[in-house]
C-alpha cells in the first residue's frame, strides 16, 4: 500500500513523499501534533544529473489548506551531508532548499534520502500540499509538482489497504481489505477500472473478475467543520496470463494465437444464448439432408447474433444443397465475438439438417451458456 502520488510532472528526477503519520493528524488542545515528511529523490535517467537546487515548500498559516503556523518547527535532514546541504530558507517561511556542495551530481540510479522532521501541524482539517521546485544546472528553467498532504481530525486513522493475493488467475476477482475509523463525516470510495464504489460501511471488497493487471485506489474523505481532507491509498493486483492490449506486436519465434477450440450443437433446441468470457471466433455450419428447391421456404438456416455495447451484429447462413462430397460441411459462417458480448444462436427450417458450432477463444475464457427459466 502506498499513498497516491501526483501525476508525472516536468521534473527530471523522481520524488516520492511519505508522511508519518499517514494521514497527518491536526493539533488539538495546547500540545501540537507533529509530522515528518520523508522524501526520496531518485535519478531514473541514463545520465548523471547536476542539480542547481530543489526547493520544498508548504503553505504556512492556520487554514485548512495550510500545513503549519509554526514553519520554524521543521527540521531538514539529509543522509549525505558530505556532498549535499539541506537547510531552511529563513527568508521564505515553510521552505527548505537542497543544494550541492562542490560539484555533486546524482548518478544514474542514485538516491538521496531527505527528511522534514518535527513539523507542527495546525488545527484545521483539510488538504495541504508540499510543492517541489527543481532547478537543473545549465537549463535556466525549473520544473514543479505538488504532493497532497491530508490533515484529518486528531485520533482518526486509516491504512493497511492491501489485496488478499497480489497474483490472481485471469477471470478471478481481487479481494481487498483495509482499516479505517467509521466516524461521522468519513466517506470511503473505491476507484478501479469500473465505476467508483462507495465502500464506507465495509472493510472488505471483492472486485469484478480481472483479465489484466489492475490498480486500485481507496480514497478517504473526512469532513469536519465544513472542511474536507482527502487521503488516497493505492495497490496493484497482477493477473497471471492476462488479456493483452497492444498497438504493434512483433513476435520472434513460435506462438499460439488461440486456445483449444470447443465444439458443440444446439441439440434438439432451436435457440441457445451464451456470454463470452474472452475474445474469440464462433464458426458454424449447417447442411440440408436433401436438396431444397428455391421454391420452398424456408431452407435450413443458422443465425448468430453478437450483442456488445448495446449493438447487435447478425451473421446468418442457409443450406439448400445436400452433401456434395464426403465430409462436405455445407454452408459456413464466422462471427467475431468480443469479451463480455452476449451470443445468441438460432436455427430454423423445415427440411431435416445437421449443424455444428466451434468456439475458438483467444484467451482462457469460455463461451458460457446463459441459464434460462
Residue ranges of the chain with per-residue pLDDT less than 50: 1-2, 7-8
Give the total residue count for the chain: 373
Task: Check: CB of residue 85 under 8 Å from CB of residue 99.
Answer: yes
- Cβ contact 66:48 at 8 Å: no
pLDDT tens, 222-236? 999 999 999 999 999
With contact defined as beta carbons under 8 Å apart, do 335 and 313 qualify?
yes
Look at residue 6 in the predicted model and tell me its pLDDT: 55
Count CA atoms closer than 13 A to 92's CA, side-chain side.
11
- Torsion of Cα atoms, 106 then 112 then 117 then 123, to 10°: 80
Q: What was the pLDDT predicted at 258?
A: 63
pLDDT of residue 294: 74
Farthest CA pair distance, the chain: 98
First to last CA, the chain: 45
- The pLDDT assigned to 1 comes to 45
Alpha-carbon gap, residue 351 to 72, rounded angstroms: 92
How far apart, in whole angstroms, are the C-alpha atoms of residue 114 and residue 13? 14
* CB contact at 8 A, 113 and 106: no
- Of 237, 222, 225, 120, the closest CA to residue 172 belongs to 237
Q: Which three cell numbers stand for residue 43?
A: 535519478
CA contacts within 13 A on the Cβ side of 73: 17
Place of cell 447474433: 305
Shortest CA distance to 34 belongs to which of 46, 53, 19? 19
Give residue for cell 486500485. 216
List C-alpha distances in Å: 261 to 90, 126, 170, 227: 72, 57, 18, 58
Residue 50 burial (CB count, 10 A): 14
Q: Give, as one character, the DSSP assignment of residue 266.
A: -
What are the DSSP calls for 179-217, one per residue?
A: EE---TTEEEEEESSSS-EE-TT-SEEEPSPBSS-EEEE
Question: Which position has the grid cell 464458426?
Answer: 283
Query: Quick one: three-class SS letters along 313-351?
Result: EEEEEECCCCCCCCCCCCEEEEEEECCCCEEEEEEECCC
Amino acid at each position: 500500500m502506498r499513498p497516491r502520488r501526483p501525476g508525472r510532472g516536468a521534473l527530471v528526477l523522481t520524488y516520492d513523499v511519505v508522511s508519518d503519520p499517514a494521514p497527518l493528524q491536526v493539533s488539538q488542545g495546547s500540545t501540537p501534533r507533529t509530522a515528518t515528511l520523508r522524501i526520496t529523490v531518485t535519478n531514473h535517467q541514463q545520465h548523471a544529473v547536476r542539480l542547481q537546487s530543489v526547493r520544498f515548500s508548504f503553505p504556512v498559516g492556520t487554514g485548512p489548506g495550510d500545513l503549519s503556523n509554526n514553519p520554524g518547527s521543521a527540521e531538514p535532514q539529509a543522509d549525505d551531508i558530505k556532498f549535499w546541504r539541506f537547510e531552511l530558507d529563513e527568508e521564505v517561511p515553510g521552505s527548505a532548499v537542497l543544494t550541492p556542495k562542490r560539484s555533486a551530481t546524482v548518478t544514474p540510479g542514485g538516491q538521496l534520502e531527505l527528511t522534514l522532521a518535527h513539523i507542527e501541524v495546525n488545527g484545521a482539517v483539510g488538504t495541504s500540499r508540499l510543492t517541489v521546485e527543481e532547478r537543473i544546472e545549465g537549463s535556466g528553467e525549473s520544473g514543479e509538482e505538488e504532493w497532497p498532504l491530508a490533515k484529518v481530525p486528531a485520533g482518526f486513522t486509516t491504512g493497511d489497504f492491501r489485496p488478499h493475493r497480489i497474483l490472481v488467475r485471469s477471470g478471478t476477482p481481487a479481494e481487498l481489505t483495509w482499516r479505517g475509523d467509521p466516524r461521522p463525516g468519513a466517506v470511503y470510495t473505491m476507484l478501479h477500472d469500473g465505476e467508483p464504489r462507495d465502500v464506507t460501511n465495509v472493510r472488505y471488497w471483492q472486485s469484478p473478475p480481472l483479465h489484466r493487471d489492475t490498480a486500485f485506489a481507496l480514497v478517504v474523505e473526512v469532513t469536519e467543520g465544513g472542511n474536507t481532507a482527502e487521503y488516497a491509498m493505492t495497490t496493484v493486483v497482477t493477473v497471471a496470463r492476462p488479456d493483452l492490449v497492444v498497438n504493434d506486436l512483433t513476435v520472434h519465434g513460435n506462438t499460439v494465437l488461440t486456445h483449444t477450440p470447443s465444439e458443440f450443437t444446439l441439440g434438439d433446441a432451436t435457440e441457445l444464448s451464451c456470454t463470452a468470457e474472452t475474445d474469440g471466433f464462433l464458426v458454424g455450419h449447417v447442411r440440408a439432408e436433401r436438396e431444397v428447391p428455391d421454391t420452398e421456404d424456408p431452407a435450413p438456416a443458422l443465425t448468430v447474433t453478437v450483442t456488445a455495447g448495446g449493438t447487435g451484429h447478425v451473421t446468418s447462413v442457409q443450406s439448400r444443397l445436400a452433401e456434395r462430397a464426403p465430409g462436405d460441411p455445407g454452408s459456413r459462417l464466422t462471427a467475431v465475438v468480443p469479451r463480455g458480448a452476449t451470443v445468441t444462436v438460432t436455427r430454423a427450417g423445415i427440411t431435416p439438417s445437421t449443424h455444428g458450432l466451434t468456439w475458438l477463444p483467444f484467451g482462457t475464457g469460455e463461451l458460457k451458456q446463459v441459464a434460462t427459466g
